[in-house]
Chain A
Amino acid sequence: MYPENYAYTKEHEWVLAEGDTGTIGITHHAQSELGDIVYVDLPKVGAQITQHTTFGSVESVKAVSDIYSPVTGEVIAVNELLASQPEKLNADPHGEAWLVKVKLLKPEELPGLMSAADYQAYIGA
């Protein structure tokens, strides 16, 4: 369920680091807690985002939730799919429904994040 090569946060986001690029998303647990997702608000390419700081929001039928960045970086791609099909976040939060890709500006932040096993223990899975 939770890919081993991703790193996780207590706010239920994940990051996959490949070279100096980080792909960011929300976890399966997060989408499950939110329920049916109907709207995703994301930054534009070129925006700077900061670790543990909100950079967007996800809305379910019932509620709005802030998304916190697992890493500091500069946005180099935004998943356009989510503007028209936000429900993909419920279906495939660890894959097709990634949120943004960033250029990692502080790779030294990565070891401070949780492993898949730590995250599963954290959420009691």
Chain B
Amino acid sequence: MAETLLETPLFRAHVALGAKMVDFGGWNMPVQYKGILDEHKAVRSAAGVFDVSHMGEIVVRGPQALDLVNYISTNDAAKLQDGQAHYSGLLYEHGGFVDDILVHRVSATEFFLCVNASNQDKDFGHIQSYSFFEGQRRFDAMVENAGPRYAQIAVQGPQSLALLQPLTQTDLAAIRYYWFQDGEVAGLPTRIARTGYTGEDGFELYVAAENAVELWNRLLSLGAVPCGLGARNTLRLEAAMALYGHEIDATISPLEAGLGWIVKFAKPDFVGKAALEKQKAAGLARKLCGFVMKGRGIGRDGYEVLANGAPTGWVTSGGPAPTLNQNIGLCYLPLALANPGQAIEVVVRQQPVAAEVVPTPFYKRAK
């Protein structure tokens, strides 16, 4: 028997728009409306809106909220100011990823974490487990799995600010990249964060689940193009942003994934630190690399990678890059081969096809 798929508050809106719905990690989500290429281009050239309400939210509150957040994540949350956010990792003791997350500091005693949809219960349990030690509360902080209370709509693209500004009194230009403000959008209480997963300027709007439809409709009425998870994936791949279950998972460390910049060894102890220090001292065995297909063919998720004819790694994400008119991908390679210019082959339906290691990101917006 098929398990029932979860739905966001915008499910009916997607169906009414004629979206193609797919099972995405247990959620019934729009993969596309009109077409992935058009939606991708809308975000690169104007503005698109994405329903990302499947993403989870976890709130950590209390006198020791900062200590708990800093203990369970790799980046240094003590460096955040009120209204500031950063990208971080949630690790196991062995140094592999539980999840990659955004940490928002609401106040000294309240942190708002945005986590991946299919990981939210796991993340919540993981954070809870570190709140206690031998049956005693270890940090004076409460952890709330707040996902069901929130909807999240991402407005992405160079026209995002212009599109959104008429809907709010908040001066959006004053919100810097990776900062946020609580305000109102379309008269609805909204956490407005200047963050995103597309490589473009844009905002991620957190609203009460019951307000999602109204906000979505207002955004569409202003000409924002509804975009599905298909375009979200091609956009983030061009920007070489990691996707949990592909570039990162429990078997991969942030150092291997090229995310050393979110690991702050100098801060107080955190879960996974010892394992990462050991890995750093021993040297990495493999590293995440970008590649471009040189021969005819598209390297896709899971395809084998060869170097000098021998199996040497695998593609974590791969596909066409609409902005670049190339077929691109990310793959793990032994450190010795992880250099731009290195010739590799990707096995496409039993045929090795030439490819080359290139620097990432593949796409960077003009500032």
Which residues on A are within 8 Å of B, measured CB to CB?
A: 35-36, 38-39, 41, 57, 59-62, 64, 83
Contact = CB atoms under 8 A, between A and B. Distances in A.
B32 A35 contact: yes
B31 interface: yes
A38 B320 contact: yes
B36 A36 contact: yes
Contacts of A83: 296
Contacts of A38: 298, 320
Nearest to B22: A62
A67 to B, nearest CB: 12
Q: Is the interface on chain B under 10, 10 to 19, 20 to 34, or 35 or more residues? A: 10 to 19
Given A41-B349, A61-B37, A83-B296, 10 more contacts: A35-B20, A35-B35, A36-B35, A36-B36, A39-B327, A61-B234, A61-B322, A62-B230, A62-B233, A64-B298
Given A35-B20, A35-B230, A36-B36, A62 B298 contact: no
Contacts of A62: 31, 36, 230, 233, 319
Contacts of B319: 61-62
Contacts of A64: 298, 300, 349
A35 B233 CA distance: 15
A60 B40 CA distance: 14
A44 to B, nearest CB: 13
A116 to B, nearest CB: 24
Nearest to A54: B349
B298 A57 contact: no
Q: Of residues A35, A59, A62, A83, which shows the largest number of chain B Cβ atoms within 10 Å of its Cβ?
A: A62
A41 B327 CA distance: 15
A114 B297 CA distance: 32
17 contacts: A35-B35, A35-B230, A36-B35, A39-B320, A41-B297, A41-B349, A57-B349, A61-B37, A61-B230, A61-B319, A61-B320, A61-B322, A62-B230, A62-B319, A64-B298, A64-B300, A64-B349
A60 to B, nearest CB: 8
**Interface residues of B: mostly helix, strand, loop or mixed?**
mixed
Interface in B329-351: 349
B352 to A, nearest CB: 15
Contacts of B296: 39, 83
A108 to B, nearest CB: 31
A115 to B, nearest CB: 28
A61 to B, nearest CB: 4
Contacts of A57: 349
Which are the 9 A-B pairs with shortest beta-carbon distances? A61-B36, A36-B37, A38-B320, A36-B35, A36-B36, A62-B230, A39-B298, A59-B298, A61-B320
Nearest to A62: B230
Interface in B7-45: 20, 31-32, 35-37
A14 to B, nearest CB: 22
Contacts of A61: 36-37, 230, 234, 319-320, 322
Contacts of A60: 36
A64 B302 CA distance: 13
Nearest to B20: A35
Nearest to A66: B349
A62 B327 CA distance: 12
Contacts of B20: 35
A62 B296 CA distance: 17
